[in-house]
């Protein structure tokens, strides 16, 4: 059951990333590009969690990928609010 949930979360994150990529193609705003990359990094993290037995939630690499994903979101928000257009 846990593998199925991990797969569902990975699929959801991939689809959300695809939506942000579609918005980026229309607007060319890097805010959407960074959000898409963030969700795709989360997708990779979930796929590794489900597919690789040694990739567990208590390994440092797992948290570093999540930290990178969340840092991209934070950077995108800060960058969007600081830019002068």
pTM of the model: 0.89
Per-residue pLDDT tens, the chain, 85 aa: give them: 888 999 999 999 999 999 999 999 999 999 999 999 999 999 999 999 989 888 888 889 999 999 999 999 999 999 999 977 6
Q: How far is CA 30 from the centre of its chain?
A: 15
Report the alpha-carbon distance of residue 21 to residue 64 in Å, rounded.
Answer: 23
Q: Which has the closest alpha carbon to 69: 51, 52, 45? A: 45
């Amino acid at each position: 059951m846990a593998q199925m949930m991990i797969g569902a979360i990975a699929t959801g994150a991939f689809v959300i990333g695809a939506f942000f990529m579609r918005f980026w193609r229309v607007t060319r705003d890097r805010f959407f590009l960074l959000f898409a990359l963030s969700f795709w990094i989360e997708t990779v993290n979930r796929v590794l969690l489900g597919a690789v037995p040694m990739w567990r939630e208590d390994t440092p690499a797992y948290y570093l990928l999540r930290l990178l994903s969340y840092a991209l979101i934070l950077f995108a928000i800060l960058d969007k609010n600081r830019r002068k257009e």
